[in-house]
Structure 1
Amino acid sequence: MVLFVYNTLVGVGLLAGSVVHFGTLPEVALTGIAVLGASFLLAWGAETAEKDVPRAFAIAVLAVLAVAPEYAVDALYAWNAGAGGATTEACNALSPAAIEAGETALAGACHDANLAVANMTGANRILIGIGWAGIAVFTVWRAFETKDPAVQDREGWLGDSVQLDTDIATEITFLFAATAWAFLVPLGGGIDILDTVVLVGIYVAYIALILKSDIEQGEEHVGVPRYLQQWPLPWRPLSVIVLFVYSGVVIFTAVEPFAHGLEQIGIDNGIPQFFMIQWVAPLASESPELIVVAVLVNKARSTAGFNALISSKLNQWTLLIGTLSVVFSISYGAYGVLPFDAKQAAEIWITAAQSYFALAILSNFEISIREALVLFGLFISQVILEFVLIREWLALPIDSYELLLAYTAVYLVAGTALLVKRRQSVQLLFGLTADAVRDATDRETVHEEFAD
């Protein structure tokens, strides 16, 4: 533990200005080490907390802290948009070229509004395309040593899969609800108060439900969490609070220079700023979450790991989108709608469609290597093709907007086909969530055979 505390102190000292600025590359390396150390502390805090609170709630708190830097980046762009007066009417009066170039202060504010959406959608697609897919492959690979009982040996090409606990049905169902609403967000011309009420309401309902869950006592922990769980009250929960607060502060502060450093490296090498903000900055801000999940998988706790990934997606797909309008309105000085252009509307649609497809994969409570590779392949191919279009390396018959709509259609068709094929699993999924609601309200459950 001393090593990881030291690593985080390196980042804190660097950011506090107590050391000399060594340049972009050393700063990226040092803050990256700080994020790594803080991620381990965050994982230990979440595992320790499982002794006193429901595991789903501990993981939900972990997920919010791990992606706090992403909230900060998006909030910054939304704030700048509101401060610059980027209303829907004002931005619609400007040409796309003027907004892209930031020709005036208002155009720059409208550009920031688009960046807020681009960064948010990029982060969400990375979480699934790299996070969900990568962790599934990593879990199967590590099972050769960890003997993770969740990894199932399936027949067929790349058929081995990760079997998820049915307790995760609640998270999947709430994420389905948030995804369904996300398809409607672009129809309003921006992110407004209705989006805030619905999406934040979904997350509040989810937290209220999991707080009613039972505290699981059967799973054995090892290392630091096991040691801390032996502490008596009130020191045990205090240790969890210290780990959460300390690691959260370090991650929140260290990821910004880490992400900006990576952005600068990309820009110095000729990569467009918009592309960097949509993909590289979110990749940096999502790194704590992916590290935490890798730590859990390394302990053969793949179900907890996927629970954390799904919880992160849920809070980003609800709280992150829902609070952007609030930040914008505060900065604007009155109620306002965070505007975005047609390209960002397509970005939201493809992000919702990717979520829909990924949830269809998990609807039978497992994900195979083959399915993980399809998730990653669709994600990375779209990013590469968009980069090719931006750099004009090839003359493709479609533009960036049409490319996004084409991938949206692919995700929707594939997801719908899976849901139809797995309709019995989907029925069970929603049934288990209904049981969780009945249990939380002291009503009789229906699917008792899956309660454990």
Structure 2
Amino acid sequence: MKNRHAFYFILMSLYSGFVSFTLHHIHFSSAVGIAFLCFSAVIVSALIISWTAEAAEFSMSQGLAVAIVALLQVVPEFMVEAVIAWKQDVDLMMANFTGSNRLLMGVGWPLIFVTADVYTRIKTGERLKHIDLRPENIVEVGALFLGSVYFIVVLIKKDLQVYDGIFLGILFLAYLYFLQILPEESEEKKEDLMPMPKYLVDISSSMAKGAVLTGLFLIGGITMYAVADPFFVSMKEVAALLGVSAFVFVQWVAPFLSEFPEKVTAFYWARTIKLAPMALLNMISSKVNQWTLLVSMIPVVYSFSKGMISTIPLDWHHREEILLSMMMTFYGCAILAKLRFTLSNAITLFLLWLAQFIYPTTFTFLPNLPLVG
């Protein structure tokens, strides 16, 4: 069994290396071929990073684990967003970050409930009434709420600047600080892990384990770095071939590919029922990471690419997308404040996302609003 898991890691690492080399040394005339290599490499590298992060959590103190694992698991999304920011494509910057946030809440959170509900019905014959969170989880709610309040300032200013990034970065650090000083949650057990990260945790030699975890993270990170730019280009080309707006394609496809592998574990936990709260919290934590830390990076990378401190102008469409994400986040805060996530909450979030996905229409009145226009 262990040999099989080792073989899978070796195979995934070799494939990552193969794609990274191929994309930079072999010319492809087919946009679809490049897209396939890029999309598959993003999924594989995101899985490697996610599993490595989970295993690493058992090799460090809980406080440090919170900070390190939170950073490791958002690497795929950050790589894609950083490439877009470096290219100074404001439209697609807004598409990726607003899409990733709304996809997490509108699809990720409801799917956790549905998964737990289905397995509850299978095992007990009864439906799942709700997923309960702990009182300490109000920290996540507070971080989301404060981040959303600050985005009102961004809408009023009609731009995103480095000092906005600094504020959101400080908010993220404060969030991590409060996570560390709160009473510890019951620790995740090795038995709760998926087979692949459990294999890494079970490596007996501490030195060997450290070397393997470091090596795998480097492989995943380097692969993401190598394919991020071709991935971005291929998304625009595939969107053109399909006759779909690049904005819409990047808004939903890029976050799905970079986020879903990271969330495989959350769905794995949800099916055990007893770990459903941990699964939901994993999704909520990712939302906090992307609503604060991810956005804080955008104006910084944008300024570096220009060679000077620069302002990212936000037109009415950008502000509309931020407003939609902000309103959805405020609703998320409201339902989480009661520390209970119900079926009606899950359905409402999904319908809010679905309406935006099917009817990506614009608020024609938005430019005329004194507050945001």
Q: What is the CA deviation profile of residues 13-63 of structure 1, one whole-angstrom value per residue up to 9, with x for unaligned ones?
A: 022117785944455445554444444444433333333445575365444
- Deviation string, structure 1 residues 231-282 (Cα, Å, up to 9, x no partner): 3544445544444333343445456655654543332121122222223223
Return the alpha-carbon distance in structure 2 between the equivalents of residues 242 and 10 of structure 1: 15
User: How far apart, CA to CA, are the structure 2 residues paired with 1:144 and 1:5?
Assistant: 38
The aligned counterpart of 2:168 is: 199
Distance 1:144 1:19, change over 3 A: farther
Supply the distance in 1 between the matched residues of 2:292 and 2:209 (Cα, whole angstroms): 31
Tell me the SS of whatever aligns to 2:341.
strand
Q: Which residue of 2 aligns with 1:181?
A: 150
Q: Select the residue among 270, 289, 292 that pairs with 2:262.
A: 289
Instruction: Choose the corresponding residue for 2:83, options 71, 76, 80.
Output: 76
Structure 2 residue corresponding to 1:246, chosen from 200, 219, 238? 219
Equivalent in the alignment of 2:102: 125
Partner of 1:357 in structure 2?
A: 331
Q: Which residue of 2 aligns with 1:402?
A: 364
Mean CA deviation greater in 6-15 or 184-193:
6-15
* Corresponding position: 1:11 with 2:30: no
Taking a change above 3 Å as real, the CA distance of residues 193 and 43 of structure 1, as seen in their structure-2 partners, is closer
Deviation per CA, 1:402-440, whole angstroms, max 9, x where unpaired?
3889xxxxxxxxxxxxxxxxxxxxxxxxxxxxxxxxxxx
Asked if the contact 2:35–2:234 (Cα under 8 Å) also holds between the matched residues in 1, the reply is yes
- Structure 1 distance, partners of 2:99, 2:176, is 25
Q: 1:56·1:307 contact (CA, 8 Å) conserved in 2?
A: no
Give the root-mean-square deviation of aligned CA atoms.
3.3
Q: Distance in 2 between matches of 1:403 and 1:246?
A: 48
Query: Per-residue displacement from partner, 1:88-135 (whole Å, max 9, x unpaired)?
Result: xxxxxxxxxxxxxxxxxxxxxxxx223322321122111211222222
* 1:366 to 2:333 alignment: no
8 A Cα contact 1:161 1:369, kept in partner: yes
Q: Secondary structure at the match of 1:367?
A: strand
Deviation at 1:362, TM superposition (A): 1.6
* Alignment pair present for 1:337 and 2:314: no
Instruction: Return the index of the structure with the highest Cα Rg.
Output: 1
Deviations along 1:301-337, one digit per CA (max 9) or x if unpaired, are 3333223222221121112222222222222232221
Which of 104, 113, 117 aligns to 1:140? It is: 117
Q: Which runs of 5+ in 1 are unaligned?
A: 82-111, 155-159, 390-399, 406-452
Residues in 2 aligned to 1:143 and 1:12: alpha-carbon distance in whole angstroms: 41
Q: Which is further off, 39-48 or 191-200?
A: 39-48
Look up the SS of the partner of 2:364 in the other structure: helix
Q: Which residue in the other structure is 1:320 paired with?
A: 294
Aligned residues: 355
What is the CA–CA distance in structure 2 between the aligned matches of 1:22 and 1:299, rounded to whole Å? 46
| 1:170 correspondence with 2:175 | no
Distance 1:382 1:14 in 2: 34
Instruction: Name the structure 2 match of 1:116.
Output: 93
3-state SS, counterpart of residue 279 of structure 1:
helix
Higher relative contact order (CA 8 A, sep 6+): 2
Aligned AA for 2:316? A
- Cα 1:71–1:228, aligned 2, differ >3 Å: closer, same or farther? closer
Are the counterparts in 2 of residues 55 and 216 from structure 1 also a CA contact under 8 Å? no
Question: CA shift at 1:199, angstroms?
Answer: 0.6
SS of 1:402's equivalent in the other structure is coil
Alpha-carbon distance in structure 2 between the residues aligned to 1:302 and 1:251: 30
TM-score, length-scaled by structure 1: 0.68
2:58 paired with 1:51? yes
Q: 1:142 to 1:34 in 2, by over 3 A?
A: farther
5+ unaligned residues in a row in structure 2: which ranges?
Answer: 368-373
Closer, same or farther: CA 366–63 of 1 in aligned 2, 3 Å: same
The answer to whether the 8 A contact 2:120-2:127 is kept is: no
Equivalent-residue separation in structure 2 for 1:11 and 1:290 (angstroms): 20
Compared CA separation, residues 298 and 25, structure 1 to 2 (3 A): farther
User: For 1:299 and 1:318, how far apart are their aligned partners in 2?
Assistant: 30
Q: Percent identity?
A: 27
Structure 1 residue 344: deviation in Å?
0.8
Aligned to 1:384: 358
For the 8 Å contact 1:192–1:337, the answer to whether it is kept is yes
* Corresponding residue for residue 440 of structure 1: none
Q: How far is the alpha carbon of 1:8 from its aligned partner?
A: 4.2
Any conservation in 1 of the 2:43–2:257 contact (CA below 8 Å)? no
Q: Distance in 2 between matches of 1:332 and 1:43?
A: 32
**Separation (CA, whole Å) in 2 of partners of 1:74 and 1:165:** 32
Closer, same or farther: CA 23–12 of 1 in aligned 2, 3 Å: farther
1:38–1:247 CA contact under 8 A, matched in 2? yes
Seen in structure 2, the aligned counterparts of structure 1 residues 212 and 252 have a Cα distance that, compared at 3 Å, is farther
